[in-house]
Chain A
Amino acid sequence: MIMTVNRIMGIETEYGVTVPGHPTMNAMVTSSHIVNAYARLSGLDQGLHARWDYDRESPLRDARGFDQSRADADPSQLTDDQELGLENIILTNGARLYVDHAHPEYSSPEVTNPRDAALWDKAGETIMHQAAVFAPKFDGVQIKLYKNNVDNKGASYGTHENYLMARQTPFTNIVRLLTPFFVTRQIFTGAGRLGQGQEGNVKKFQISQRADYFEAEVGLETTLKRPIINTRDEPHADPEKYRRLHVIVGDANMSEKATMLKMGSTSLILALIESGFEDFAQFDLANPVAAMSKVSYDTTMNSVLTMANGSSMRAVDMQFAYLETIRSHLYSHNEPDEQTAEVLDLWQQTLDSLNDQTGEHRVAARYVDWVAKYQLMQGYRDRDGLEWNSPRLGLIDLQYSDIDPGRGIALKLMNRGSIDTLFNADQVDIATRDAPHDTRAYFRGECVRRYPQNVAAASWDSIVFDTGGDTLLRIPTLEPRRGNRDSLQSLLDQSESAADLLNSLRSHD
């Protein structure tokens, strides 16, 4: 078993949406405006209006081995109810852009590595911004979008990570090693939040936006009583071979490096579990749910968590232990590939910086969102004598994640070189239009681009063609790594029409 960050992964982000001065605007309507605007902007509205193929979704299947009955489910768990999804488009970069209840959502194409995950996530942000600029204005006011997870009045919405895993890995092992990892990785995945408690009543800073909304250890829910480990079992791939781990516990990150580190470190933990590692006891927490907010509320990095065996440990020390365990496993197996080496180095330097007892965290301030946000707020407190409950600090908290380059604080910090970036404007621009070349997202995106009049529907694991005959034809794309550019580009180039493509595919198989 090779220890690597490389695995099929992707990120779904729900965006906050408002129209300043129009507080009663219906969020489903404004979200639809966003999706429709991008459909028009990209010319995707000229095609057959390929709809998302819900037939193949099973959101109530639980990884612990049973199906929740639809009657028992909270309506918000029924993600396949087409009436609630007003608009839903598939992009040429293989992504899905749609309305998820009251938020516009971008579900990135499948990628194979953390760097690409960060790139196609950033592309989504750009797509959302372009849509907002192109969408109708309300009394001249443009729709505003925020890449964050709270409104500080009680509502929370998610940024979900997805990781494909080998099916035979026991789910109990995943839960056991991942729970303390999710609790403690907040120290570098946290995007910062001025407000403690679900309603945000206590005006104090905490490092994670999502921490206060996690009330259970394991479960199927995503909108209330949220569990640290979500058990949704919808692999969108061969269920005998694969499991898709659906992670709801993370924050939305403006920082590209933070996104890459989040995806990369988590992928390595999964590799550790898949390799058969079972020395869990050293990481077991006495009370993981309580530990989520304990870690989040502590900006000193020095508070201790109670372990199941009665000892105590700081979050940063647990992260050092995870990193050490991965390194020793890795060096007994193989030399790390370039991407894995990059993530390991970044993880190390991040922990070293967060462990800085002077509290300056100079290195982490350049790409850990909560540190950048916190230090900016401290700057304002020092200069203007502001208390934590000052409205201006609350505004900075919100505006940090504004995705408008003219207004967004994180984007401003990137622009002036205070926050590191991984990608230049050209790379991001290309990723808004082109899919990753090494997954089935390539096939999906290219079919939408080349045969817009013939793609009737698509989902993660299939494309449905309409070539004018009596019946529609579904092409399954069950293998996430197949349908890539290497295997399909020349076939696509030779197929002027969808009918040509289907004929070629038939004769190939």
Chain B
Amino acid sequence: MPTHDSNQIKRARREENQSEHDTTVVSTTNNAELDNEVDSLLDEIDEILEVNAEDFVKSFVQKGGQ
């Protein structure tokens, strides 16, 4: 279960990584660009995800085939 705390930890880790590269402008820019790319991809996927993940996955039951 995602908790508020673990979100903070993830964000903190990302900020930590970025500050290590503060001396190199290019790296920081690349990190930020990559993050933006991933974020926009995830936003697009968010839009098409089925609602109620747990129920949806639970109800996907198949008979065995070959």
Contacts and interface: CB of A to CB of B under 8 A. Distances in A.
Nearest to A160: B66
Contacts of B60: 16, 18, 146, 151-152, 398
B52 to A, nearest CB: 9
Contacts of B45: 376, 396, 409, 412
Given A379-B42, A380-B42, A385-B7, A16 B62 contact: yes
Contacts of A383: 10, 38-39, 42
Given A23-B61, A157-B62, A409-B48, A394 B42 contact: no
Interface in A388-412: 390-392, 394-396, 398-399, 406-407, 409, 412
Given A20-B56, A23-B59, A395 B50 contact: yes
A281 interface: no
B50 A399 contact: yes
Contacts of B1: 387, 390
Interface in A123-155: 146, 150-155
A400 B9 CA distance: 28
Given A23-B61, A153-B61, A380-B42, A385 B9 contact: yes
A233 interface: no
Contacts of B61: 18, 23, 151, 153, 155
B57 A390 contact: no
Nearest to B64: A155
Contacts of A376: 41, 45
B16 interface: no
Interface in B32-66: 38-39, 41-42, 44-45, 48-50, 53-54, 56-57, 59-66
A39 to B, nearest CB: 22
A504 interface: no
B66 A396 contact: no
Given A384-B2, A391-B53, A398-B57, A158 B66 contact: yes
B53 A395 contact: yes
A382 B66 CA distance: 37
B64 A157 contact: yes
Contacts of A223: 64-66
Contacts of A407: 48, 50
B30 interface: no
A16 B64 CA distance: 10
A352 B10 CA distance: 31
B1 to A, nearest CB: 7
B24 interface: no
B54 A391 contact: yes
Contacts of A399: 48-50
A112 interface: no
Contact of B66 (A20, A157, A385): A157
Nearest to A14: B65
Given A385-B6, A395-B57, A406-B48, A151 B39 contact: no
B3 interface: yes
B63 A395 contact: no
B10 to A, nearest CB: 5
A248 interface: yes
Interface string B6-30: 1101100010000000000000000
17 contacts: A18-B59, A20-B59, A101-B63, A150-B62, A155-B64, A379-B41, A380-B42, A382-B14, A383-B39, A387-B2, A394-B53, A395-B53, A398-B57, A406-B48, A407-B48, A409-B48, A412-B48
Given A102-B65, A151-B60, A156-B65, 4 more contacts: A151-B61, A157-B66, A160-B66, A379-B42
